[in-house]
Amino acid sequence: MKVKVDPDLCLGCGICEGDAPEVFSMEDGIPAKVLVDPVPQELEDSARTAAEDCPEGAILIEDEAAGASDKAITAAQESPADKQDETKQSTKEKEMRAIVDKDLCIGCGICEGIAPEVFSLAKEPYAEVIEDPIAEEHQEAAKEAAAECPELAITIEE
């Protein structure tokens, strides 16, 4: 498997380095640098996670084994597990909760901008969960807010 970072899309959030520090580095600034290419098999899962977690879809994966080339993996794409969860949710409402790690949160407000019904920075310098459990109509926004958090300070429990 080979990976590339699109320099026009990379924001420098560091999520890729957090997910796969053996594969990506932010040491030289924006864009993220690919440390190993091709990616060793034992690091492929963490590299794929980094690509899925990239808020801008800046990580390109070329999977030679599957015969695919330049396949962009973005947070917006759904995995088979996500599709199974949607099927389960359509038959019955799932209870969802969000947790903000106040030690990781930098108070950037991205979560509040994406899901203002769920997160607020009105009382504290870090995000607080204001809807617990999260109503079904706000669950997708809460998941998106967690995925976009540059510090990965939000955990979603289903």
H or E, element range at 4:
strand 2-5
Task: Calculate mean pLDDT across residues 90-107.
Answer: 80
Q: Percent of the chain having pLDDT more than 90?
A: 54
Whether a cis peptide bond, with omega within 30° of 0, leads into 125 is no
- For tokens 């669950």, what's the residue? 139
Q: In this predicted structure, what is the pLDDT of residue 151?
A: 93
Task: Report the CATH number of the 2-72 domain.
Answer: 3.30.70.20
pLDDT, position 26: 86
Question: CATH 3.30.70.20 in the chain, residues?
Answer: 2-72, 93-157
Residue range 41-79, pLDDT digits in tens: 999 999 999 888 888 889 998 876 554 444 444 433 444
Average pLDDT, the chain: 82
Residue 129 near residue 98 (C-beta atoms within 8 A): yes
In the predicted structure, residue 91 carries a pLDDT above the cut 50: no
Q: How many residues does the chain have?
A: 158
pLDDT at res. 13: 84
Class of domain 93-157 as given by CATH: alpha beta
**Residue 74 pLDDT:** 40
**pLDDT category, 90, cuts 50, 70, 90?**
very low
Sheet holding 59-62, edge to edge: 2-5, 59-62, 71-72
